[in-house]
Amino acid sequence: MDFALTAEQTLFQDTVRRFARQELAAGARSRAAADAYPWDVARRLAGMGLLGITLPAADGGAGGTLVDAVIAIQAVAEACPRSADVVQAGNFGAIRTFAEYATAAQKARYLPRLLAGEALIAVGMTEPEAGSAVTDLATRATPDGDGFLVEGSKVFGTHSGEAELFLVYVRFGPGVGGIGSVLIERDTPGFTIGPPSRFMNGERWSPLYFERCRIGADAVLLPAGGFKRQMAGFNVERLGNAARAVALGRHAFETAREHALTRRQFDRPLCEFQGIQWKFADMALKLDAAQLLLMRAAVNADRGLPSAYETALAKAACNLAGFEAANEALQVLGATGFSEESLVQYCLRRTRGWMIAGGSVEMMKNRIAEEIFERRFPQRPPRAPGAGA
């Protein structure tokens, strides 16, 4: 067993870190406060080959591993947390599931602009009545001539205000087996995007409405029966969420460490108080443990797709460690950390959101428990004897 990065991985990490520190760190605070997606960063990262890191060269990617993508997103996040969203969108998010299952024609139509940092693809999964219970989703795709009519609505989607393309989970038929997904372009008739709301982390989301929204058969990404495969792709998204959580926790940790070394109270630097030292020991303990679980999930990923169990462990650990580190770091910084100018409060708000997004910490623990007891624990109430399907 070897816990060190290879020489090649270390070189890659150094290169991305150097770029991020020199080119992105100075604008980190203004990007964190801005509403707009950092398109300038997206084009620059695309130029460096940092979008599509794990996609094959034939698809316009770099042919790298999931570990490479984790290295890149964390190196960027350490210097500029908001810019890491670009690495997420270009490697871990809907683009990854899309590239895994899309036809050659679908890839040719959408991948070039996505990989150039000129367009975004968003996930439309959550519905008003289907959050953690995602298989309750009601958005329907009904056959209509040689295509489908989509009817339903989605909520809370990241980049729903800016995306050109939406990967929408739909129901082709009843039950889990009836779930698949389709690709819907922003300007498709019958598809409207509602007014934006704002999460406490600063991100905006808009509701998506589909009313007799007609799509062609060529817009199907995964037909009925595709739910498991969809979630296999989504586990990559979860690791991107986990990688950023632990990196933002680390960013807050480093800021607080500097502060504890220099800020003096009672004629001593803060780091000389044991009450402060133990906070740092606890933060390091949680962040390092979470990072190891993250790397294990990424290293073991089969053809780039991590296992559900290792993903669940990594996501829960990173979400908790990232948030708890950011929270303690803010405490160490006192009112300075609580001020809007501080990036630490931004790290706190972002890491808090990831405890809910992409499968909450509780849902990850449910999955972990199933592995421990080697059985499924259906979350739904038992059916009354004799009740129909």
Give me the residue whose beta carbon is nearest to ligand FAD. 131
Contact flag: residue 311 with ligand FAD (CB under 6 A): no
- Is 199 a residue that touches ligand FAD (CB under 6 A)? yes
Backbone angles phi, psi at 283, to 5 degrees: -60, -45
Among 360, 367, 368, 371, binds ligand FAD (CB under 6 A): 360
Backbone angles phi and psi of 217, in degrees to 5: -60, -25
Whole-number Å distance between alpha carbons of 150 and 142: 7
- Least Cβ distance, residue 361 to ligand FAD (angstroms): 7
- Which positions from 130 through 189 interact with ligand FAD, judged by CB under 6 A? 131-132, 154, 156-158
Q: Does 10 bind ligand FAD (CB under 6 A)?
A: no
Query: Which CB atom, from 75 or from 316, has the smaller least distance to ligand FAD?
Result: 316
Of 160 and 256, nearer to ligand FAD (C-beta) is: 160
Query: Please, what is the angle between helix 66-79 and helix 227-262, to 10°?
Result: 40
Among 356, 367, 370, 371, binds ligand FAD (CB under 6 A): 356
State yes or no: residue 333 binds ligand FAD (CB under 6 A). no
Would you state the structure tokens that stand for residue 294, as one six-digit string?
A: 């993250």
Is 77 near ligand FAD (CB under 6 A)? no
From 52-60, 218-226, 339-347, 362-370, span contacting ligand FAD (CB under 6 A): 362-370
Among 42, 84, 123, 329, binds ligand FAD (CB under 6 A): 123
- How far are the Cα atoms of 203, 211, 225, 227 from residue 120, in angstroms, in the given order? 15, 23, 26, 22
Q: Tell me whether residue 68 or residue 158 sits nearer to ligand FAD (CB atom).
A: 158
Phi then psi dihedrals of residue 196, to 5 deg:
-75, 145
Instruction: Pick the closer one to ligand FAD by CB: 154 or 286.
Output: 154
- How many CB atoms lie under 10 A from the CB of residue 3? 6
221 binds ligand FAD (CB under 6 A): no
Q: 215-224 as b/e, with b when 16 or more CB fall inside 10 Å?
A: beeebbbbeb
Residue 158 Cβ, how far from ligand FAD at the closest point, in Å?
4
The yes or no reply on residue 362 touching ligand FAD (CB under 6 A) is yes
Q: Does 284 bind ligand FAD (CB under 6 A)?
A: no
Binding residues for ligand FAD, per CB under 6 A?
122-126, 131-132, 154, 156-158, 199, 201, 203, 353, 356-358, 360, 362-363, 366, 379
